[in-house]
Structure 1
């Protein structure tokens, strides 16, 4: 997954620092107490909308507007930043290019609530200042926060970082990505069996490109990444593309690593893989067929648990005319001493030849009886891996 250099830091642990900076702004006359009630502000916005104006705070408690006014008794004030009234804020967005806001369009941001809690948009400014952040890369829904944050930084005597606002991610329907589009958290992707490197690869490629490269390591991404190749248009989240990419990563992953990921999933299914064949060997046999770890665990499970073939599969594939050949396969398997791929192949092929059958005619019924499914990886390596007892028992039980 992603690596990091320091931290993590939690804003709740830095509240004293934020309050210290709020007080600094108050002491320097760059912030002020606002006693306007919620009802007052709601009425103000409603009146502005009725006049066709953009709703915004009107600065009624700015010091120059509140001279001679007595703060109402019993009202706990919020603290607002005293935004400049004139001039412009211009910054060169590293994705969108130059962006300018008139200060007259910006109202005075609340930087501390009535209970004294600093607001998020203020806290991030202090964090950027204290931690000497040079670049802020975030979604373009934060563009409108940027001029306010720049003004606060300048009021503190700090140099603003460079900003890059990347387009939002849309769902397959073209709407802004939300919970209704599927997975609601990164952890849900983990539960569904996506590898972290596949998810990171997909997210990196979403809205950014390096030529036609689709699959790349995090090391390559760090080497290649630049802001110049971020798309200015919104990217669409495609679950099918993510699933395909995850499958490519599973195909090439180290079987031992996949086995460690699959083992707890098997245990959740009531399977103890340590009591059967080596799990990494089983994983290696199935990994090219699975798109997720969840699928891989389901597929590998047939090696470790008794088959439960459905009636429809038995009716379709295990017909009366094939049962004599299956009985001979059982006898041939029971006679095998050293159970390995070559011995299993010879025993099975001997029955094929004796009955003049083609491979699928006998292999599919055997798969259904032993593994509960007509489709498996290459049959002889799978039978050899499963072990003689695991193969012979269901075959004997079905034919008895």
Structure 2
């Protein structure tokens, strides 16, 4: 990752700044999407910064999981991903600027003393104020470790937020914040302000769990004489029970949704509507989302995960997706299906033939695999139980007569097959169900499948006739 940051004159510059946790959280994916859309909407730039100062958690595998998740979602960022850890020297430099300006001070309190001061401040209903705010550092004992603390103003803090409106905190709510720890390493709020300023970030869209940080960071911006960015703190995603999304609600990472068979464009569309609205429109192409997105559409109320709505939206995008692409994407989901043909060429041939119909019958790639299974079952397949019930002796004899007619049929098309099945039922003087049920059992082995004429078209003449022939005998 690149620690070098350059400013440009682009009007809007946004960023996504996750901590590497080993996966891209679905809430983080939504945050990234909103920042990406805002930048795209205004012809600006969208940056990625990995907040990897926690070295114990920040493994390359954890970073790669975030990069892979964003790439799969189609959220491309400008330039190289930036490492916050690599910029530690710059953070320290700014801390010393604040010291020089009198906006920060060295605090020589021991951890025990700090806890005592904190307890006292809490009991008196005020913020922690270090006794070293106004003491001469020369008074400190030699070689005593110190932290660098921000000199918190004794005035209220006001933040104008694009989602939350004007938010105000009393001065007593903000302590003298540590900027540099006793080992000299920078703390989160300092690092974030410095990085966002140096990257020229104009708008910060993030979860409202950072709202208090927005207040603290605003104080640092003001102390440095830097222009504050536009803050937009969005409510966190809740589960269907109205509680903050957690492991008990199931899938948390973008990778989980990928594994369940959701398309990136389907998940993007769903996340877009999870806390943002544009009239009553539910379905968006990327172009429509970019053209419509603005901060005024963000909602104050927490959004709830609704798997039914996600399935509906993903199903729409599945139906609109390219057939060749879907035929490739569905293959890994077929691997769990037993006794299917191994020939990749035949698999793709049959999938492509059926895809225009099958993709309208599924909400996910996993469902699409189930809908495709009838095409790919190895024959002969032995039927038993419910699947075999329609195939009594009378039905098998009828299949034999149908087989003879189908074998002589000119033109193996859906229209011709539909007409032939209708004519056969009339010739047999029976309802179509007595033809359709055994024929479906023979052709699909009880697997989900569309209209029978379509099934035979997708399978092709030879395969369809062979499957019927397999079931014409009572020994099948």
Cα distance 1:345–1:217, how it changes in 2: closer, same or farther (>3 A)?
Answer: closer
**Paired position in structure 2 for 1:188:** 256
Asked if the contact 1:367–1:375 (Cα under 8 Å) also holds between the matched residues in 2, the reply is: no
2:91 aligned with 1:23: no
Deviation at 1:38, TM superposition (A): 4.8
2:237 aligned with 1:166: no
Structure 2: where are the runs of 5+ without partners?
1-73
Cα distance 1:59–1:71, how it changes in 2: closer, same or farther (>3 A)?
Answer: farther
**Equivalenced residues, count:** 395
Counterparts of 1:315 and 1:70, CA distance in 2: 90
**Residue range with higher mean Cα deviation, 10-19 or 327-336:** 327-336
2:298 aligned with 1:298: no
2:442 aligned with 1:369: yes
Q: 2:400 aligns with which of 312, 327, 345?
A: 327
Cα distance 1:46–1:82, how it changes in 2: closer, same or farther (>3 A)?
Answer: closer
**Paired position in structure 2 for 1:281:** 353
Cα distance 1:39–1:358, how it changes in 2: closer, same or farther (>3 A)?
Answer: farther
Counterparts of 2:300 and 2:405, CA distance in 1: 67
SS at match of 2:279: coil
2:163 aligned with 1:95: yes
TM-score with structure 1 setting the length = 0.87
**Paired position in structure 1 for 2:325:** 257
2:155 aligned with 1:83: no
**Paired position in structure 2 for 1:391:** 464
**Paired position in structure 2 for 1:151:** 219
Deviation at 1:144, TM superposition (A): 0.8
SS at match of 1:399: coil
Counterparts of 1:36 and 1:369, CA distance in 2: 83
Counterparts of 1:344 and 1:298, CA distance in 2: 24
Counterparts of 2:116 and 2:443, CA distance in 1: 74
Deviation at 1:47, TM superposition (A): 6.2
TM-score with structure 2 setting the length = 0.74
**Residue range with higher mean Cα deviation, 219-228 or 171-180:** 219-228
2:277 aligned with 1:209: yes
**Paired position in structure 2 for 1:357:** 430
**Residue range with higher mean Cα deviation, 343-352 or 196-205:** 343-352
Asked if the contact 2:207–2:234 (Cα under 8 Å) also holds between the matched residues in 1, the reply is: yes
Counterparts of 2:107 and 2:382, CA distance in 1: 73
Deviation at 1:43, TM superposition (A): 5.5
Cα distance 1:156–1:334, how it changes in 2: closer, same or farther (>3 A)?
Answer: same
Counterparts of 2:109 and 2:399, CA distance in 1: 86
SS at match of 2:299: coil
2:196 aligned with 1:128: yes
Structure 1: where are the runs of 5+ without partners?
none
Deviation at 1:28, TM superposition (A): 3.9
SS at match of 2:159: strand
SS at match of 2:256: helix
CA-to-aligned-CA distance 1:332-371 (integer Å, 9 cap, x gap): 3444576444554465445423322222322222222221
**Paired position in structure 1 for 2:11:** none
SS at match of 1:169: coil
Cα distance 1:25–1:393, how it changes in 2: closer, same or farther (>3 A)?
Answer: same
Counterparts of 2:304 and 2:470, CA distance in 1: 53
Cα distance 1:112–1:320, how it changes in 2: closer, same or farther (>3 A)?
Answer: farther
CA RMSD, Structure 1 to Structure 2 (Å): 2.9
Asked if the contact 1:266–1:273 (Cα under 8 Å) also holds between the matched residues in 2, the reply is: no
Cα distance 1:381–1:29, how it changes in 2: closer, same or farther (>3 A)?
Answer: same
Q: 1:70 aligns with which of 118, 136, 141?
A: 141
Asked if the contact 1:255–1:281 (Cα under 8 Å) also holds between the matched residues in 2, the reply is: no
Cα distance 1:372–1:60, how it changes in 2: closer, same or farther (>3 A)?
Answer: farther
Asked if the contact 1:285–1:382 (Cα under 8 Å) also holds between the matched residues in 2, the reply is: no
Counterparts of 1:203 and 1:20, CA distance in 2: 39
